[in-house]
Amino acid sequence: MKPWIILLLGLFSITAAFGSDPLVPKLTAAAGIAAREPINSVCPVSGDTVGSVGKPIYGEYQGTPVAFCCKDCARKFRKHPGKYGPLAEKNQTAHEPM
């Protein structure tokens, strides 16, 4: 084999390896989200059981998935994560009126 052919083949294998790369992080990210269950079953804002009022809304507190019973609670949490986050970690609630 001539040296330039070896060089060409080398370039091809590099392109092939990098060509499939962009898919890998996407797949692992999707699997990571699916594998992460929220830490709480009770809405930390209102005290309703998550999923009892409708489709649960998911948020995040310090990298931990947290579930809420509704959009309003998720919005309140985003305004005051320091207030509701620690409650969610203990599966406790502020029992706030809606």
- In terms of CB distance, is 36 or 95 closer to Zn ion? 95
- In terms of CB distance, is 64 or 94 closer to Zn ion? 94
- In terms of CB distance, is 10 or 54 closer to Zn ion? 54
Secondary structure element (H or E) that encloses residue 62, with its range: none
Shortest distance in whole angstroms from residue 23 CB to Zn ion = 37
Shortest distance in whole angstroms from residue 36 CB to Zn ion = 20
Asked if 65 contacts 37 with a C-beta cutoff of 8 angstroms, the reply is yes
Asked if 43 contacts 67 with a C-beta cutoff of 8 angstroms, the reply is yes
Rounded to whole angstroms, the Cα distance separating 68 from 63 reads 16
Binding site for Zn ion (CB under 5 A): 43, 45-46, 68-69, 73
